[in-house]
Amino acid sequence: MKGYGPADPLQTPRFAGISTFLRLPHTTHLDGVDVAFVGLPFDTGVSFRAGARFGPKAIREGSLSIRPDYNMAQRVALFERLSAIDYGDAPVVPGFTDRSYDKMAAALCTVHEAGAVPIGFGGDHSVLLAELRAAAATHGPVALIQFDAHSDTWDEYFGEKFTHGTVVRRATEEGLIDAARSTLMGMRGGLYGPGDLDDARALGFTVIPWDDLAQLGTGAVAAAVERAGGKAFLTFDIDFVDPAFAPGTGTPECGGPSSMQALALLRACRGLHIVGADVVEVLPDLDSSHLTATLAATVAWEILSLVAVTMPDGAV
């Protein structure tokens, strides 16, 4: 093991102990840390169902069933290549978006400044703005790779600018992301008008609706990685996946990818230079099967694997 890694599941069973993500050590000491998992328990930005503030807890619990050490699909021994911790949750002020953004961004800036990659657990998707403010403060404008049933590029909801449906537009306006290097994938369901996705394209994004992505497959994701061409933030809204596989989410859209398809598409991000990432919009109250949280944890682990494959192999 390179540094911090999970408790050995062959010494203590995976259901035992305190539920940190992957049973990684919970610490805020960042020396030598490559990846820090950070909970973002905020759901004031939602337009429909609330409850994602409890997402981080559920995703940690959902991670316990994962055998964390080796990713068979990527052929990588994760903790021989990187040191990872559970940083805990960023502070938030429930009901107050601006102050929560400031607090979450400050916590995430600390992680970036230490040279570690934060992987956030939402929280609703509005937390992305805090994450991108923190990422851009260290790295400058980044490419956004977004898996999501919605583009989140609307201008406002109910006259409000800072919501989970407007966050990608705000990040563009603030110069946090480079739209020309960014790809939004998975959009489906009804829209407010015929121009909704054209508006996203007018901002400079490459937009690949789910019906197209389903036909194009992993090659379209590889092309998105190519287009990113450098530092990138990967955001995964769990509503990208069909609600049959991920029912515990705020704004479900039927007719999406299975969990198998979604994971294959995510793995095709191999080679992406990830400086930050997240998985968001898990609502445990509607996740009676725990499948959504388990899938979200798997997504976060696959993202950790994507970071691992870009690092030197430290195995002896």
**Residue ranges binding Mn ion (CB under 5 A):** 125, 148, 152, 237
Nearer to Mn ion, 7 or 187 (CB): 187
Which CB sits closer to Mn ion, 80 or 237? 237
Measured distance CA(28)–CA(151) in Å, rounded: 33
Q: Which is nearer to Mn ion, 30 or 280 (CB)?
A: 280
Compute the least distance from the CB of residue 76 to Mn ion, in Å: 28
Shortest Cβ 131–Mn ion spacing (Å) = 13
Within a 10 A sphere around the Cβ of 220, how many other Cβ atoms? 18
Lookup: tokens for 305: 């694997």
CB of 1 to Mn ion, least distance (A): 35
Three-class SS of the chain: CCCCCCCCCCCCCCCCCCCCHHHCCECCCCCCCCEEEEEECCCCCCCCCCCHHHHHHHHHHHHHHCCCCEECCCCEEHHHHCCEEEEEECCCCCCCHHHHHHHHHHHHHHHHHCCCEEEEEECCCCHHHHHHHHHHHHHCCEEEEEECCCCCCCCCECCECCCCCCHHHHHHHCCCECHHHCEEECCCCCCCCCCHHHHHHHCCCEEECHHHHHHHCHHHHHHHHHHHCCEEEEEEEHHHCCCCCCCCCCCCCCCCCCHHHHHHHHHCCCCCEEEEEEEECCCHHHCCCCHHHHHHHHHHHHHHHHHHHCCCCCCC
Task: Give the nearer residue to Mn ion in terms of CB position, either 39 or 252.
Answer: 252
Q: How many CB atoms lie within 10 A of CB 32?
A: 13
Smallest distance from Mn ion to CB 114, Å: 28
Q: How far is the CB of 249 from Mn ion (least distance, A)?
A: 10
CB of 209 to Mn ion, least distance (A): 14
Decide whether 152 or 278 has the Cβ nearer to Mn ion.
152
**Rounded Cα distance, 300 and 63, in Å:** 9
Nearer to Mn ion, 152 or 242 (CB): 152
User: Which of 306, 270, 314, 304 is CA-nearest to residue 118?
Assistant: 304
- Provide, rounded to whole angstroms, the least separation between the CB of residue 82 and Mn ion: 27
Nearer to Mn ion, 8 or 211 (CB): 211
In whole angstroms, how close is the CB of 168 to Mn ion at the nearest point? 8
